[in-house]
Structures are given as C-alpha cells and as structure tokens.
Structure 1
Amino acid sequence: MLKAAGLGKTSSEFGGGVGEDQFGSFLVTEQARAMVDAGGIGLAESLFDALKDQQDG
C-alpha cells in the first residue's frame, strides 16, 4: 500500500542516486512497521463501520 502511495520513490529534489534507490525499500518497510506498531491507520474500523451502517440502514 505504501509503495502504491509513492513512498520510497526517488525524488529529484535531493539528487537521488544509486544509494537512495537501493535503500528506499528499507524506508518503506520501516514506515509500515511503525504504522503497525501505532495500531494502523484506522482503515479497518472505518470500513467496518461503513458496512455496518449500510447493512443497518
């Protein structure tokens, strides 16, 4: 999901380079771990509530 959002892509503003390309995947992995440790982004609960409201309504 984070890759699809564009995280980890080389930006032209900082010059990029081989090192940035190689270590970008590590950044995305650590960002994903931090999100999980924080309890996610609330997407599952939002989807559950929307489906529940749709079924009840």
Structure 2
Amino acid sequence: MQTSLQPVPDRQDPLRKAAQQLEATFLAEMLKSAGLGESRESFGGGSGEDQFSTFLVRAQAEQMAQAGGIGLAESLYNSMKEAQND
C-alpha cells in the first residue's frame, strides 16, 4: 500500500499564524452569536461571569482553530500565500 506524503505545515509560519487568528476571531463571533458565554437566568455567576465570558469564548475559538477549525484558516493561508507570491 502506497501513501503519498504531504509536507507538514510549518506552525511557525507568520502567514499560517495570521490565518489561524483570523479563523479564531471568526469562530469567536459565531460562538457569541450562537449564545455561548451568555449569562444564565438562574444560578449564574453574576457580573464576574459576564466580564470573563468573552475570554472563555475566545479561548474556545482559538482551540477550535488550532485543532483544524472549519477549514477557513487553510483557505485564508493559501490566499495570502498566493498574494505574497504575486
């Protein structure tokens, strides 16, 4: 059985990092729109929960993007790489 080896993406590439950050920002906005991080009506954490919920949503979005996300980072990376080569 033959398998084709694909190059391992360079995680230190500034363009790849920028693409992942853009995807994380997009995912954070989508998670907020879906209601993640909103205060619960009963037994909520009060004002502290409201203040720090954005940090939780952002951290979750960053983890999602690092784990592969929705493919947006890869598309952005490829577009930025093409623009850089032009």
The normalised TM-score by structure 2 is 0.44
**Mapping 1:12-51, distance limit 5 Å:** 12-41=41-70
Identity of aligned residues (%): 63
More helix by share: 2
Output the aligned Cα RMSD.
1.6
- Cα distance, 1:11 vs. partner? 1.2
Q: How many residues align?
A: 43
| 2: CA distance, partners of 1:35 / 1:14 | 28
| Unpaired runs of at least 5, structure 1 | 45-57
| Unpaired runs of at least 5, structure 2 | 1-29, 73-86
| 1: CA distance, partners of 2:37 / 2:44 | 14
Higher-RCO chain (CA-CA 8 Å, sequence separation at least 6): 2
| 2: CA distance, partners of 1:17 / 1:10 | 8
